[in-house]
Amino acid sequence: MADVMLQLGAYQFSVNSAAYQELSRSAEYRWSAQQRVGEVDALQFTGHGAETIELRGVIYPFHKGGLDQLDNIRSQAALGAPLSLISGTGQVLGLWVIEAVREGQRVFARGGAPRRQEFDLRMRRYDGGLRALLPF
């Protein structure tokens, strides 16, 4: 995985294909407030909330990787199944689902083929356990 930045399922984001320029990751933690007479509310941790990753990037399909890169990402999303996410350094980040893919196109070649594609990808951590992955 020398030039791979991130692998989601079978799709690899790399410097030779869909290279993202920005990655943002957020995690939520839930706290419930219990009102108390004459006191500040007591807080109780009730669990982990959503964890998301958003990628923003640019693809130059005529330079590297070809025109089907975003279609390949959409194909992974259309599987309707959680996908393993692994960083380019080999860190296993767990199972994730693709919630949204946005594409923008600029600078066109003959036939309307884009020479530049911008993309935004939003993923959410899947935590349904192994039972949710079993076919029965």
Top-level CATH class of 4-133? mainly beta
Ordered by start, the domain boundaries in the chain are 4-133
pLDDT in tens, 77-100: 998 999 999 999 999 999 999 999
The whole-number pLDDT of residue 85 equals 94
d(C-alpha 84, C-alpha 103), whole Å = 23
Give the separation between CA 39 and CA 3, rounded to whole angstroms: 56
Distance of CA 74 to the CA centre of its chain: 12
Q: Tell me how far apart the alpha carbons of residues 121 and 101 are, in angstroms, rounded to a whole number.
A: 5
Tallying the residues shown for the chain, one arrives at 136
The pLDDT tens digits of the residues spanning 122-135 come to: 999 998 655 445 55
The 10s digit of each residue's pLDDT in 39-67 is 999 999 999 899 999 999 998 888 877 88
Among 84, 70, 64, which residue's Cα sits nearest to residue 17?
64
Question: 3-state class of 110 per DSSP?
Answer: helix
Q: Cα(104)–Cα(30) distance, rounded to whole angstroms?
A: 35
